Amino acid sequence: MQKQGFNPYMPSWEYVPDGEPHVFGDRIYVYGSHDKFHGHAFCLNDYVCYSASVTDLKDWKYEGIIYGRCDDPQNEDGEGCLYAPDVCQGADGRYYLYYFFGGFARVGVAVCDTPAGRYQFYGYVHYEDGVIFGEKPGDMIADPAVLAEGDKVYLYTGFCAPDDKTAAGAKVTVLKSDMLTVAEESRTIVPSASHSAGTGYEGHEFFEASSIRKVKDTYYYVYSSIWMHELCYATSASPVENFVFGGTIISNVDLGIGTYKSPERRMAYPNNNHGGMELINGQWYIFYHRHTNGHSFSRQACMEPMEILPDGRIPQVEITSCGSNGGPLKGEGFYPGYLACNLYSKNEPIQGVTSFGKNVDARFPYITQDEPDGVECLGYVCYLESGSGAGYKYFECKNTRLVQVQIRGICNGNVLVKTAPEGCCIGTFSVKETNKWKIYETDIAIPDGVQALYFEYQGNGFISLNGFTLLSSQQK
């Protein structure tokens, strides 16, 4: 079958959150943190890069390690973890990687002659008197985002816990053309929760995850709000002031989306989000991440097409399984379980900020894998108990039938197949306890048109879903 584009768009055994996409030449490069599968903390691995042709987002290339945790002279023992980075091209044509370590009060910079080569340590952002940026009161170093324009570099940083009254909000700091030296003092551009009264940001205040783009004459600042799961945006005619709240671009639980379920229903477990927007071959995309393995520390890269309206607004985007495909997936072939974009339980996931580490509700379904970190293997949906479901969106169906489903689990019950989480059942099949992946043969007709597929378990125990096979009229 012809290659298709999925979410996550990287291999299912790869965990690259906080993705910052940039087009350099004829390729799109994604720079992000690098989580470890089943890790005990965020960002335990070295920085890697993935790229694709701007004309083919279905075929992503692994570029390898571009910067290692021990490449920074202050972290030669590997004690610190490399958090969310960004890259920009300097006036000299070289590429500059901005990053920071948790526990280190500084923004590091590395440089490379090519977008995805091995970056070399260049220095730390600092003031003209040599004091390291991050060591003065009020300095913000978290999640650096950068935009180079002429002889200036705009560095956006910030982390503001909702209950931290000392943090005013996201900040921008202007650097000189050497990419390191502070030229202008930092300014607050988007308020934190404790400083938002009367600003228009109430309910969507800044938490973390800075990202910046210029669209014609307007600067779009993308950030994660205090709800963590949503990426919001603000706009201004200036890169350093007068940003006005615009709205929510995407939520990795689809809160606010009412096209296929009620707007207030959350279709995954709420947790953090980080990403950026980029124009690729005439189409805008928003990049974000999802959570796997039932905790915060194994996140995966996803993307969806988005639209900037003539008046500058961005309508909220729905999360899908086919974000990089340019449209629905074919209504034929085998689809692995890890492509689920929606996971739900009979118990509604808690709204808002969850604890880092293990999910508050350990009985919520999640994506996982059987092999350890770095081993090539397909992921699957784990722990679908009675009332829980996994959803896949979308497929182009024409005389399409669901013919096989691969399941294992300690179970005795039925799997209901739906085209919407709140919709009617279009077919069922019975499952029984097995500790191996078992193929259940079935024959369920799917209505013609663009459809979603939901697998909801009803019964005792729980099941895991490894994948399913569709058969179209063309294959009969």
Q: Residue written as tokens 């390191």?
A: 180
Q: What is the DSSP string of 263-323?
A: TT--SS--------EEEETTEEEEEEEEE-TTBSS-EEEEEEEE---TTS--PPBPP-S-T
| Residues sharing a CB contact under 8 Å with residue 247, sequence separation 6 or more, in sequence order | 232, 233, 313, 314, 316
Inter-residue contact 144 to 86 (CB < 8 Å): yes
Q: Residue written as tokens 């005389």?
A: 399
What is residue 239's DSSP assignment?
A: S
Active-site residue (options: 18, 230, 254, 278)? 18
Judging by beta carbons within 10 Å of its beta carbon (0-12, 13-18, 19+), is residue 353 exposed, middle or buried?
middle
DSSP H or E segment with residue 28:
strand 27-31
Inter-residue contact 413 to 437 (CB < 8 Å): no
Inter-residue contact 226 to 183 (CB < 8 Å): no
Inter-residue contact 394 to 322 (CB < 8 Å): yes
18 is catalytic: yes
Judging by beta carbons within 10 Å of its beta carbon (0-12, 13-18, 19+), is residue 1 exposed, middle or buried?
exposed
Structure token pair of residue 436: 């191996």
Q: What are phi and psi of 475, to 5 degrees?
A: -95, -5
Active-site residue (options: 139, 205, 208, 332)? 208
Return the exposure string of 42-71: e unless at least 16 CB atoms fall within 10 Å of the residue's CB, then b. bbbbbbbbbbbebeebeebeebebbbebeb
Q: Which residues are catalytic?
A: 18, 208
